[in-house]
Amino acid sequence: MPFKTPPPTPQYSLLTFPTPHTLLVTLARPKDLNCINSTGHAELHEIWQWMDDEPSLRVGIITGQGRAFCAGADLKEWNKSTQSSEKRPPPPPSGFGGLSRRTGKKPIIAAVNGLCLGGGCEIITNTDLVIASESAFFGFPEVQRGVVAWAGALPRIVRTIGKQRAMEMVLTGRRVSAREAERWGFVNEVVVGDEEEGVVKRAVEVAVQIAANSPDAVIVSREGVKMGWEGVGAEEGTRLLVEAWEKKLNDGENIKEGLRAFVEKRKPQWVESKL
């Protein structure tokens, strides 16, 4: 696939392109349960920025290699920094894995193939959709290690699963099963079968559905949902969305193509988004 700029070449993740408009990022430290160290955070921040800037890509997916999605921070690295004067580099502004505080413009699906703890949960709290294998489980065990989930999940998870459930997860540190997380609304869908291949296959299917739509309309619709989730009132959010995006959308080619294709009873041929 021709890209405007070449893809990053990370040390701790694998980049693949399972369909023409989809980027699949696989965390590749299976022996360490895909814990993310300082270098890994910087790499992932660069990857997601590249995806947003690359016109041919419309959807991202993140998953893990082996039996874990992500077990959180690299505690060995963290311990080393607390026991010496050698401080860890600060995290990127986009947060844990370049995702927990990300404000980027293109949607990202989490394909949770196994255990998802600490920073792993911080990642999925701020992804757009979460698809999990039946054997996956979730938790914020930070309190059991004397640390805190600093990377953005705490004020966000309450808006997804409610105060009492959020308090239960972050104050007890207990693990929540995929089925329970689905009932709570933390997970969109649970996939039965082969953990790694099955959940990624389903995530790719959903990514194809998203990528088949107008890339302009997907970007702007996502911004509208984010405004409500981030606490902006409904009317204020609508006003801000219209002011920021309506003219840009209407000036683009994809809205014209979508309406023309409807009238002509054919499939739209989208062009790369300029938003």
Point out the residues that are catalytic: 73, 119, 122, 142
Burial 58-83 (b: 16+ CB within 10 A, else e): bbbbbbbbbbbbbbbbbeebbeeeee
Tokens of 60: 């991202």
Beta bridge mates, 111: 131
CA distance linking residue 169 with residue 127, whole number of Å: 18
Beta bridge mates, 240: none
CA distance linking residue 267 with residue 154, whole number of Å: 42
Tokens of 114: 């196994």
